[in-house]
Amino acid sequence: MNYKFFTIILLSLFLISCDQSLQSISEKKIIKIEKKYKNLGFALIYDDNLDKIKKIDARSLDIYHKSLKRKSIVKITNPKNNKSLIANVKSNKVKFSDFYNSIISQRIAETLDLDIEEPYLEILLVSKNSTFVAKKSKTFDEEKKVAEKAPVDGIKISNLNNEKVKKKNIKKDTFSYSIKLADFYYKGSAQMVIDRIVLETSIRNYKIIELSKTKYRVLIGPFNDIKLLKESFEKIKPLNFENIEILKNV
The CATH code of the domain that includes 102 is 2.40.40.10
Q: Does 200 map to a domain?
A: yes
Looking at the structure, tell me whether residues 74 and 121 fall in a common domain. Answer: yes
**Residue span of the structural domain in which 185 resides:** 177-248
The CATH number of whichever domain residue 194 belongs to comes to 3.30.70
Q: Does 8 map to a domain?
A: no
Q: Does 242 map to a domain?
A: yes
The reported pLDDT for the residue numbered 162 is: 44
Q: Does 13 map to a domain?
A: no
Looking at the structure, tell me whether residues 134 and 196 fall in a common domain. Answer: no
At 81, give phi and psi (nearest 5°).
-125, 0
Assess contact for 115 and 27: CB atoms under 8 A: no
**Which helix H or strand E contains 58, and what residues bound it?**
none
The model carries a pTM of: 0.70
**β-sheet with 177-184: strand ranges across:** 206-212, 215-223, 177-184, 245-248
Q: Does 23 map to a domain?
A: no
Looking at the structure, tell me whether residues 68 and 133 fall in a common domain. Answer: yes
Looking at the structure, tell me whether residues 145 and 187 fall in a common domain. Answer: no
- Domain termination residue (choose one: 149, 165, 191): 149
Looking at the structure, tell me whether residues 203 and 112 fall in a common domain. Answer: no
Q: Does 26 map to a domain?
A: no
Looking at the structure, tell me whether residues 44 and 145 fall in a common domain. Answer: yes
Q: Does 61 map to a domain?
A: yes
Question: Of how many residues is the chain composed?
Answer: 250
- Domain termination residue (choose one: 105, 129, 149): 149
Q: Does 114 map to a domain?
A: yes
- Domain termination residue (choose one: 149, 169, 201): 149
Antiparallel, parallel or unpaired: β 83-91 and 62-64: parallel
Looking at the structure, tell me whether residues 210 and 128 fall in a common domain. Answer: no
Looking at the structure, tell me whether residues 43 and 141 fall in a common domain. Answer: yes
Please report the DSSP string for 215-241 in residue order. Answer: EEEEEEEEESSHHHHHHHHHHHGGG--
> Number of structural domains, the chain?
2
At 226, give phi and psi (nearest 5°).
-70, -30
Instruction: State how far the alpha carbon of 243 is from the alpha carbons of 226, 237, 240, 246, in Å.
Output: 19, 10, 9, 10
Looking at the structure, tell me whether residues 56 and 145 fall in a common domain. Answer: yes
Looking at the structure, tell me whether residues 43 and 139 fall in a common domain. Answer: yes
Looking at the structure, tell me whether residues 107 and 52 fall in a common domain. Answer: yes
Q: How far apart are CA 4 and CA 1, in angstroms?
A: 5
> 173 forms bridges with which residues in the sheet?
none
**Neighbour count for residue 197 (Cβ, 10 Å):** 19
Assess contact for 133 and 87: CB atoms under 8 A: no
Alpha helices in the chain (DSSP H): 2-34, 106-111, 131-149, 187-200, 226-236
Written as tens digits, the pLDDT of the chain (250 aa) is 555 555 555 555 555 555 554 444 343 333 233 358 999 999 999 998 888 899 999 999 999 999 999 999 999 999 999 999 999 999 999 999 999 999 999 999 999 999 999 999 999 999 766 554 545 545 555 555 555 555 555 554 444 444 444 445 555 678 999 999 999 999 999 999 999 999 999 999 999 999 999 999 999 999 999 999 999 999 998 898 888 999 998 8
Q: How far apart are CA 189 and CA 2, in angstroms?
A: 60
Looking at the structure, tell me whether residues 242 and 183 fall in a common domain. Answer: yes
